[in-house]
Copies of this chain bind each other. A is one copy, B any other.
Amino acid sequence: MIQSSSSPFLQYAETVRTEIDEALDRYTLYDDDCPSVLRDAIRHSLLAAGKRLRPLLVLMATEACGSQRQRAMAAACAVEMVHTYSLIHDDLPSMDDDDLRRGQPSCHVKYGEAIAILAGDALLAQAFETIAAGIQPPEVAVRCCHELSRAAGASAMVGGQVDDLQAALAAGNPDDLERIHRRKTGAMFRVSLRLGALVAEADDSMLAALDDFGRKLGLAFQIIDDLLDVRGDEGSLGKSTGKDAEQGKMTFPALLGEAESRQLAEQLIRQAQEALTPLDSGATNLQSLAWYVLERNH
């Protein structure tokens, strides 16, 4: 059943989000060998107000598996670094060409294309440094590096972005679109939950449940993102809207209509919540988060 978001959950999420923001701030102080313009560009993009959805998933998964969330903070920050690098690069003029991100100028608008590309590059590399230095024991750190690099790689996030760029020019069907988003958005949602479970040294059945949850939540998130692009206002969303239609992009509302897209998102959220059954009451916060994803307006 879909549970309504409760005020204690929102307070909890706000507390965890503050912990994430503080950790991201500490990770991006840098020494004198980092040029100040590079540090500024990285911090401009990484520390801008974000939902922190992916790192929240990491930390909530760790807690759902019975461990302390601080043990997974390095993995949570690594996931946010990878996500932010992908936003910086996707916003570039040669890609989605977006001027607005997280309610402020995109990285390349403020710092130029070269610095934006390099800021993204540095964040991607730092994600692995952060896990290697901050996750214990080594067996778990290696597995986290392995799974995160795969999720960010040619057969997952980057591959999905390539197909998404090319899909703008072609007609398609919902299966094609789902295949793009399974890689472009879904892989990072899944790996966020998997990293949280790995740090908690969860058993295979918990890992599988969280993986399934992540897969369905990720697709629902993308459908809702498409719906918000059609209907949203830039002020509350913090990024440009109406771009999909303008660029002739393949989206769920364009393929299925708004009503059916909304229905599909609701169905996926329900399935995602059902996937958490094996985790019992430990997954209450993830249940609430799924509801929040469905109801978000930014």
- Chain B: CB-nearest residue to A151: B125
Taken residue by residue from 41 to 69, chain A's Cβ proximity to chain B (1 for < 8 Å, 0 otherwise) reads as 01000000000000000000000000000
CB pair A117–B92 under 8 Å, yes or no, is: yes
Q: A197 within 8 Å of B by Cβ?
A: no
Which residues of the partner chain B approach A124 to less than 8 Å between Cβ atoms? Answer: 121, 124-125
Task: From known contacts A34-B159, A142-B145, A159-B33, infer whether A39 and B154 are also in contact, taking CB-CB under 8 Å.
Answer: yes
CA distance A114 to B30 in the complex (A): 29
The interface residues of chain B lying within 8 Å CB-to-CB of A150 are 129
Contact assessment for B117 and A132 in the assembled complex, using a CB-CB cutoff below 8 Å: no
> Considering the chains assembled together, what is the distance between the CA atoms of A141 and B35 in angstroms?
29
From B137, B141, B148, B162, give the contact of A38 (CB < 8 A): B162
Q: How many residues of A contact B (CB 8 A)?
A: 56
CB distance from A186 to the nearest CB of B (A): 11
Distance in angstroms between the alpha carbons of A124 and B133 in the assembled complex: 18
Tell me whether A153 and B122 are in contact (CB under 8 A): yes
Q: Are B117 and A95 in contact (CB under 8 A)?
A: yes
Give the docked Cα–Cα distance between A152 and B133 (Å): 15
Nearest neighbor of A179 in chain B, beta-carbon distance: B33
* Residue of A33, A92, A112 contacting most chain B CB atoms (<10 Å): A33
User: Would you call B117 and A154 a contact (CB within 8 A)?
Assistant: no
- Chain B residues contacting A154 (CB-CB under 8 Å) are 30, 34, 38-39, 42, 122, 125-126
Which of the residues B35, B94, B145 comes within 8 Å of A128, measured between beta carbons? B145
Q: Which of A1-53 contact B (CB under 8 A)?
A: 30-31, 33-35, 37-39, 42
| B138 touching A142, Cβ below 8 Å | yes
The minimal Cβ–Cβ distance linking A112 to chain B, given in whole angstroms, is 7
Q: Across the interface, do A162 and B37 meet the contact criterion of CB distance under 8 Å?
A: yes
Contact between B145 and A132, CB atoms less than 8 A apart: yes
Q: Which residues from B are CB-within-8-Å of A240?
A: none
Query: Distance in Å from the Cβ of A193 to the closest Cβ of chain B?
Result: 19
Q: Is the CB of A146 within 8 A of B132?
A: yes
Assembled-state Cα–Cα distance A161/B153 (Å)? 23
Q: Does A266 contact B (CB under 8 A)?
A: no
> Within residues 146 to 179 of chain A, which ones have a CB less than 8 A from any CB in chain B?
146, 148-150, 152-156, 158-159, 161-163, 165-166
The docked-state distance in angstroms from the alpha carbon of A213 to that of B38 is 29
Interface pair B112/A126, CB less than 8 Å apart: no
Q: Which 9 A-B pairs have the closest CB atoms?
A: A132-B146, A129-B149, A94-B113, A33-B155, A122-B154, A128-B149, A125-B152, A138-B138, A122-B158
